[in-house]
Chains A and B, each alone.
Chain A
Amino acid sequence: MRSASFIWNVCKSSFTFGLIGLTVSDRFASVVPVRGLSMAPTFNPPNNSSSFGLFTDDHVLVEKRCLTDYKFSHGDVVVFCSPRNYKERQIKRITGMPGDWISVPFSYDAVKIPEGHCWVEGDNPTDSLDSRSFGPIPLGLIRGRVTHILWPPQRVQKIDKKLPRSGLSF
C-alpha cells in the first residue's frame, strides 16, 4: 500500500515536471546539441571533432521569445525546420533578409529574396547544406535563435552577430 502511493506520487510529479519543462522549452528557451561541421568555426571547431558524441558536441541555448514577432536580423544564428524534411532541424546563420539581393555561388545569378523569406548559410561553406542548395526559406520555418554555447565548459560564450566573410548581400 505504501509503495503504491509512492509510485503514484512519483508518476504525478514527473508528469507535472514534464508539462512544465515542455512549456518552458516551447515558450522560452531550450538546449539542443549541435551535430556536424556545417557551422565549424562557430560550433564544433575542427580540433576536437575527432570523436563525435553526446559529450563532445557543442550544446547551445536556443531562445524562443523571438518567435512571437519574427524579427530577425542579418547574422543571427537560427534553428529551423529543414524545407526538405520537416523532421530535421538545422542550425545556420541568416545572411539575407527580404528584399536583399544574393549572388548565388558557382553561377553568375543574383536572386532577390521574396517577402517573408530569408537566406541561411553555414559558417563552413565547404561542408554545409543550406540555402545555396535549397534556396530561400520561409521565416515561418524558424524554430528559435541560438544565443549562447553552454557546453563544453571551456567554450561557454555568447554568440555574436557576425556577418559572413564574403559579404554577398548588398
Chain B
Amino acid sequence: MSLFQQWAFIVKEALDKSFLVAKFFCSVHVANTYLCSTALVQGPSMLPTFSLTNELVLLERISTRNGKAGTGDVVILQSPENPRKFVTKRIIGMEGDKITYIVDPKNSDSTETVIVPKGHVWVQGDNIYNSYDSWNFGPVPYGLLQGKVFWRIWPTSAFGSIGRRPETVDPALKVLEQANQS
C-alpha cells in the first residue's frame, strides 16, 4: 500500500512539473508571436542602418497585427518568393501611395512611378544598389509583415532604437525622396 502511495506521489509530482514546463513554453510562444521577439539581421541590403555582419534586433508584433506599421518603419517580412525566408526591409509606401523608384540604379537614373494597390505595401532596402525588394517582386501584401524592428541589442556599441531613414547623401536618392513626399 505504501509502495502504491509512493508511486502515486511520484507520478503526481512528475505531472505537475511537466505541466509547469508546458505552461512555460506556452507563455514563451504567446509572447513571441503576439508581443515581441528577437531576430538576427544580416546581409548588405540595409547597409547604412544594419551592417553586413549579424545584428540582433528586437521586433514587436503589435503594430503589424493592428495595421499601425507605416511609412518609414523597418519591418521583417516573409519573402513572397520563398515562404521559408524572412527579409528585413523598410516600408516606403502604403496602399494608394504613388511610388517613384529608379529602375536600374547601377546603370542609369531613369525612374518609374507606380501606385501601390489596396492592402499592399512597398518595401525597399536602404541600400538600393544591392537589395532584392519590391523593385524585383512588386508590392507585397500586408499579411506578410511579421513585425516592426524597433530596437538593436547587438552589437552593444550600437545599442538603441531604430528610427526613420537617415538623411541621404546620394543626389539621385534625394530627388526620389522629394518625389515620394510630394
Asked whether any CB of chain A lies closer than 8 Å to the CB of B78, the reply is: yes
In the complex, chain A residues whose CB is within 8 Å of the CB of B34 = 22
A138 touches B25 (CB 8 A): no
CB < 8 Å A-B pair total: 71
Q: How far is the CB of A101 from chain B (nearest CB, A)?
A: 18
Are B141 and A81 in touch, CB under 8 angstroms? Answer: yes
Contacting residues, chain B, for A82 (C-beta < 8 A): 119, 143
B23, B84, B144: the one within 8 Å of A19 (CB): B23
Residue of chain A at shortest CB distance from B144 = A140
Determine whether the beta carbon of B26 is less than 8 Å from that of A141: no
A69 partner residues in chain B, CB cutoff 8 A? 84
Residues of B within 8 A of A22 (CB): 26, 29-30, 34
A23 contact from B25, B118, B140, Cβ within 8 A: B25
* Nearest CB of chain A from residue B95's CB, rounded to whole Å: 9
Name the interface size band of chain A: 20 to 34
The distance from the CB of B132 to the nearest CB of chain A, in whole angstroms, is 12
**B22, B79, B119: which contacts A140 (Cβ < 8 A)?**
B79
Is A49 among interface residues, defined by CB-CB distance under 8 A? no
Complex contacts, B84 vs chain A, CB 8 Å: 69-70
A138 touching B78 in the complex, CB below 8 Å, given contacts A70-B83, A116-B83: yes
Q: A69-B84, A116-B82, A139-B83 are in contact. Are A86 and B22 (CB under 8 A)?
A: no
Q: A26 at the A/B interface (Cβ < 8 Å)?
A: yes
Point out the residues of chain B lying under 8 angstroms from A140, CB to CB: 78-80, 83, 143-144
Verify B141–A20 contact, CB threshold 8 A: no
On chain A, the residues within 8 Å of B25 by CB distance are 23
Q: Does B113 contact A (CB under 8 A)?
A: no
Measured CA separation A20–B19 after assembly (Å): 10
From A23, A27, A70, A81, B143 is in contact (CB under 8 Å) with A81
Residues of B near A81 (CB, < 8 A) are 141, 143
> Which residue of chain B is the closest to A136 with respect to CB atoms?
B80
In whole angstroms, how far apart are the Cα atoms of A42 and B115 in the complex? Answer: 37
Per-residue CB contact flags for chain B residues 98-122 toward chain A (1 = under 8 Å, else 0) read: 0000000000000000000011100
Given contacts A23-B29, A116-B80, whether A138 and B140 have CB atoms under 8 Å apart is yes
List CB contacts (< 8 Å) of A123-156 with chain B.
137-142
CB-defined contacts of A26 to chain B, threshold 8 Å = 29, 33
Taking Cβ atoms with an 8 Å cutoff, the residues of B that contact A are: 22-23, 25-27, 29-30, 33-34, 67, 78-84, 118-120, 140-145
